[in-house]
Amino acid sequence: MAHSYEIKVELTKDSQLAKVDFNNLKFGQILSDHMLVADYDDGEWKEVKIVPYANLSLSPATSALHYGQAIFEGIKAYKFEDGRVSIFRPDRNFDRFNKSAVRLEMPEVPREIFMDGLKKLIDIDRSFVPPTTGASLYIRPFMFGTEPALGVHPSKSYKFVIITGPVGAYYNKPLRVKVETYFTRAAAGGVGFSKNAGNYALSLYPTRLAQDEGFDQLIWTDAKEHKYIEEAGTANLVFMLGDTLITPGSETVLQGVTRHSIMDLAKSWGIKTETRDVSVQELIEGIETGKVSEAFAAGTAATLTPISEIGYEGKIYKLSDPATREFSNKVLDYLNQLRYGKVEDPFGWNFIVG
Ligand code: COI
């Protein structure tokens, strides 16, 4: 039987809303007035509250800081022209969050806390959802082990928190990406599919090396042979190869909600789709022969960001002008119309807050 959790609310007396310039939003720099905090201890979720955004107080021995039990999600909410606020497919993020929790030996967060808490928090901070097309409210649920203990064992206590903030584009230009053939993001049997903090920490050094060479991001490859394409770390990868939309199917990549939605839309438009292994060789040959007509990164933060150039073994492979890409432009336009409530929602992807 579903447990019901009372969500206590304490509203801020010091709103930051007036300081927000909705016409000049970057990614992840502004945070809304409130946050949801739920504490887990002694085998159960105890207190769930929405409180003014504020620092947390933590013991220096907090287990997540030492052994990395830390997971998160990325979700977006949009404002319709009639003022209603809608969250895009949060049920998918809820499911993925708990898959990450299980893999990291953390407790699952009950639906009543995640989904009801999300809805209530977004409703309270609805004025932070940008009214501008192209902008949205980024929602960051996360959980970490809080037990102050230095032994290596699963934390006995956890904090689940949701913070939000109005954002613009994560990437504001087409990407130059480098195929990484030495460093590894994830191996079979590991945690690549989960959205845990460590996956992002390990990407920073190899990404910086690629940025020093003038690239924006990496294309990670498989851990064993570095022959198969995985994901970009900040987003999934999708290619139009001939008449087929393909995306890497490895168990080690994050099961992206945006990617999934794009593949579903393509299918519904009669386009062939494949989720399967994609070798670097197939991609490079496809670019050289003109078979690869489109390549893009797909993610909640990244939305759909075109890839303009791919670096591999010292050579740069240029792709078509993003402005001329038929599928990418059509699917992004449709997704935007759907998310901002400008077209019908035949798939039931919009979770209306009200
Ligand atoms: C998201 O797309 O929401 C993510 O969590 C990726 C992160 C690089 C911002």
The enclosing domain of 213 has a CATH number of 3.20.10.10
Share of the chain above pLDDT 70, in %: 99
Q: How many domains does the chain have?
A: 2
Average pLDDT value for residue range 196-213: 98
The closest-lying atom of ligand 1 relative to the alpha carbon of residue 300 is: 2
Q: Is the CB of 301 under 6 A from ligand 1?
A: yes
Q: What's residue 104's pLDDT?
A: 98
Global pTM reads 0.97
Count Cβ neighbours within 10 Å for each residue of 219-244 and write b for 16 or more, e otherwise.
bbbbbeebebbbbbbbbbbbbbbeee
Q: Cα 299 to the chain's mean position, in Å?
A: 5
The closest-lying atom of ligand 1 relative to the alpha carbon of residue 258 is: 2
Q: Which residue has the higher pLDDT, 134 or 259?
A: 259
Q: Is residue 238 part of a domain?
A: yes
Cα 42 to middle of ligand 1, angstroms: 31
Domain closes at, from 167, 191, 215: 167
Element (H, E) at 113: helix 111-124
pLDDT, mean over the chain: 97
Give, using CA atoms, the residue closest to atom 3 of ligand 1.
74
Q: What's residue 4's pLDDT?
A: 85
Same domain, yes or no: 323 and 192: yes
Same domain, yes or no: 188 and 274: yes
Q: Is the CB of 262 under 6 A from ligand 1?
A: no
Q: Is the CB of 165 under 6 A from ligand 1?
A: no
Same domain, yes or no: 158 and 200: no
Domain that holds residue 188: 175-339
Q: Are strands 303-312 and 175-179 parallel, antiparallel or unpaired?
A: parallel
Q: Is residue 3 part of a domain?
A: no
Rg (CA), the chain: 21
pLDDT at 13 over 60: yes
Q: Is residue 281 part of a domain?
A: yes
Domain closes at, from 167, 184, 217: 167
Q: What's residue 14's pLDDT?
A: 97
Same domain, yes or no: 162 and 282: no
How far is it, in rounded angstroms, from Cα 139 to Cα 158? 19
Give, using CA atoms, the residue closest to atom 9 of ligand 1.
301
Give, using CA atoms, the residue closest to atom 4 of ligand 1.
74
* Amino acid sitting at position 238: V
Length of the chain: 354
Same domain, yes or no: 20 and 55: yes
Task: Report the candidate in 217, 215, 282 with the shortest Cα–Cα distance to residue 248.
Answer: 282
Q: What's residue 1's pLDDT?
A: 56
**pLDDT per residue over 62-98, tens digit each?**
999 999 999 999 999 999 999 999 999 999 999 999 9
Q: Is the CB of 234 under 6 A from ligand 1?
A: yes
Same domain, yes or no: 135 and 41: yes
Average pLDDT value for residue range 308-319: 98
Same domain, yes or no: 195 and 300: yes
Q: What's residue 303's pLDDT?
A: 96
pLDDT at 21 over 60: yes
Domain closes at, from 167, 198, 218: 167
pLDDT at 133 over 90: no
Same domain, yes or no: 49 and 156: yes
Q: What's residue 201's pLDDT?
A: 98
Distances (CA, A) of 64 to 104, 145, 198: 11, 5, 11
Average pLDDT value for residue range 3-24: 95
**pLDDT per residue over 229-258, tens digit each?**
999 989 999 999 999 999 999 999 999 999
Same domain, yes or no: 25 and 141: yes
The closest-lying atom of ligand 1 relative to the alpha carbon of residue 200 is: 8
Pocket test of ligand 1: the residue of 234, 261, 304 to mutate, having most ligand atoms within 8 Å of its CB, is 234
